Structure 1
Amino acid sequence: MTLPIISADERMAEHSGAKIALFGKAGIGKTTLLKTLPETSTLFVDLEAGDLAVKDWRGDCVRPATWPEFRDLVVFLAGPNRALPPDSAFSEAHYQAVCERYGDPTQLDKYTTYFVDSLTVLSRLAMVWAKTQPQAFSERTGKPDSRGAYGLLGQEMVTALTHLQHARGKNVVFVAILEERTDDFNRRIFVPQIEGSKTASELPGIVDEVITLAEIKAEDGSSYRAFVCHTVNPYGLPAKDRSGRLDLLEPPDLGALIAKCTGTTLPAQSTESKE
């Protein structure tokens, strides 16, 4: 047996999907960006049950209503981690059990993008579940232990999002509301609206791209929407571009942004989302 080296040509020929955290204040139009993605090859993971803004988008969607349902969906979409023991979530045994319920995983071959909207709601579903687990109760008194619940919440969220991030060849977009706060030094800061602090702090390290959809003021006093893409930006907004292909500001077209990140051709049906 020889060392399974992947040559530079083989590696560069592989299709690597973009893994994106998409932030923006409530009402800015994050969900409507779904309209810039091709309907035939995008799976909308609708956690908010609030798809009125994209009612005319004719792509497929799934609606997990609980944390265990979302975990099952994640292992089906991304496949198993064969290094995990059989009783662990995302293991080979978990994957096989889910495939028995959901069917042949080749049905996913037509999708190039998973659009997960939103982590804000997902974290609440995870918290509801975490509060019912043994870790959420004190071993000594049997009373609820909020520290245990939050610790389990962070562990579960980070593990699930990391696993979905490993869906090879797929674009994965995680959407979350961005909150503006004031810190102890009266400075303006922006943080994702996600239950607990662990997921919000570790998410930028999980994904390749952190993009904030923001309202930008033009020199003539007018305003327009744009993606803020660079870590160093004059707006103080969270952003990161690991691809090195994005400008500081990009048009609010998610399909075009993904194409630019991955160096692929923009699908013909991608158009800029409208409010």
Structure 2
Amino acid sequence: MALRIVSADERLSAAGAKTTMAIFGPSGVGKTSLLKSLPPAETLCIDLEAGMKSVQDWPGDSIPVRTFADALDIGCLVGGVNPSADPSGFFSEAHYQHLRESYPDLVQMIAGKRIIFVDSITDLTRQAMAWAKTRPEAFSDKTGKPDTRGAYGLLAREVIGLLKHLQHAQAKTVIFVGILERVTDEFNRTTWQPQMEGGKAGRELPGIVDQVITMSLFARDGDGWRHEPERGEDRRLVCRAGNPWGLPAKDRSGRLDVTEPPDLGALLSKINATRKG
């Protein structure tokens, strides 16, 4: 691809057309139900966990994905061709053209979607681990026995490659959701971490996406909020790093409050609002 200059107007237009976001929350907090706050005609749900029961009345389109190979194919259809990909590898011109010929209806449907909702990245990494264990890299060259380190290394490379490919999708907002788990160490210190197979993909994800958000339960505490993940009655989105509860969050837009209501449509409008002056 030829090098070119991107003007400020082009950059602002592109920024308003796409955002990448990772939303983590405890099991059962209602992450999938966030779909109902997105425009159904413009949203596609990539369903990796057979978890659409809670939103069975949502009128939008979804694609069930049960293997990591299928996830890679969907990623290629959403993100298009990666010009730096191996000619015989994933996201190459050959891979993309093969999928276009095999799934013309999917190509047309995806082209009309502005928002891709991936539910969930936790299950994506589980599928990736099952796939990685079957690959040659997961077996020792000397003994032929399973090599766990090789499987985890392949898992990290391919999952990170898929996430970065989706990040570069033209004019698409991509939202990943996943499970947040409470971890207590030997000193009885509690932290909250995304639940994902392999540590590398989880560590790199915050650097790949624009926004990292925690969805959890809270209770009113005067004019503020108290984190009550098991007994709270109000769902909130925690959007900024350095929040009082030590929850994972990052706001690259600089436009979000520490917490926001659980409405992704309103959240995206706030992130992408045109600055005045």
TM-score (norm 1): 0.91
Instruction: Quote the residue 1:38 is aligned against.
Output: 39
SS in 2 for 1:218: strand
Distance in structure 2 (CA, Å) of the matches to 1:10 and 1:150: 39
Which among 118, 121, 139 is matched to residue 119 of structure 1? Answer: 121
Q: 1:36: Cα distance to partner?
A: 0.6
- Determine the structure 2 residue equivalent to 1:253: 263
One-letter code aligned to 1:129: W
Q: Does 1:4 align with 2:14?
A: no
- 2:242 counterpart residue number: 232
Q: CA deviation at 1:85?
A: 2.3
- State how far apart, in whole Å, the 1-side matches of 2:110 and 2:184 are: 43
Q: Give how far 1:215 is off.
A: 1.1
Q: Which residue matches 1:47? A: 48
CA distance in 2, matches of 1:201, 1:3: 31
For residues 3 and 88 of structure 1, the distance between their equivalents in structure 2, rounded to whole angstroms, comes to 24
CA displacement at 1:157 relative to structure 2: 0.6
**1:154-205 deviations in whole A, cap 9, x for unaligned?**
1111110110111121110001000000134432111111111111111000
Separation (CA, whole Å) in 2 of partners of 1:154 and 1:10: 33
1:161, 1:13 → 2: CA distance?
23
Letter in 1 for 2:123: V
Letter in 2 for 1:13: S
Distance 1:40 1:137, change over 3 A: same
For 1:13 and 1:144, the matched residues in 2 are separated by 49
**Superposition map of 1:259-274 within 5 A:** 259-263=269-273
Counting aligned pairs with the same residue, the percent is: 52
Once residues 60 and 130 of structure 1 are traced to their aligned partners in structure 2, the CA distance between those partners, rounded to angstroms, is 29
2: CA distance, partners of 1:191 / 1:231: 14
- How far apart, in 2, do the equivalents of 1:237 and 1:134 lie? 38
Q: Which residue pairs with 2:82 in the alignment?
A: 81
Match of 2:201 among 178, 181, 199: 199
Using the TM superposition, name which of 44-53 and 182-191 deviates more: 182-191
Matched, 1:96 2:100: no
Partner of 1:183: 185
- Cα deviation for residue 6 of structure 1 reads 1.9
Counterpart CA distance in 2 for 1:89 and 1:186 is 44
**Partner Cα distance (2:204, 2:40) in 1:** 31
Q: Structure 1 200/97 Cα, relative in aligned 2: closer, same or farther at 3 Å?
A: same
Amino acid aligned to 1:237: L
Q: 5+ residue gaps in structure 2?
A: 227-231
**CA, structure 1 residues 56+241, in 2 after alignment: closer, same or farther (shift >3 Å)?**
same
Counterpart of 1:164 in structure 2 is: 166
Q: Runs of 5+ in structure 1 lacking a partner?
A: 265-275
Give 1:107 shift. 3.3
TM-score, structure 2 length as denominator?
Answer: 0.91
- Give the total of aligned pairs: 263
Quick one: distance in 1 between partners of 2:53 and 2:3? 52
- Residues 28-77 of structure 1: CA deviation (Å, up to 9, x unaligned): 00001111111111001011112110000010010121111110110001
CA distance in 2, matches of 1:225, 1:237: 14
Q: Which residue of 2 aligns with 1:271?
A: none
Q: Which moved more, 1:56-65 or 1:96-105?
A: 96-105
Residue type of the partner of 1:65? R
Match of 1:269 in 2: none
In the other structure, the counterpart of 1:132 is 134
What secondary structure, in the 3-state scheme, does the structure 2 residue paired with 1:77 have? helix
Write the letter of the residue equivalent to 2:218: I
2:66 alignment counterpart: 65
- Could you say what the CA RMSD is over the residues aligned between the two structures, in angstroms? 1.6
Q: CA offset at residue 87 of structure 1?
A: 1.0
Structure 1 residue 218: Cα displacement: 1.2
Alpha-carbon shift at residue 11 of structure 1 (Å): 2.2
User: How far apart, in 2, do the equivalents of 1:20 and 1:10 lie?
Assistant: 21
Q: How far off is 1:238 after superposition?
A: 0.1
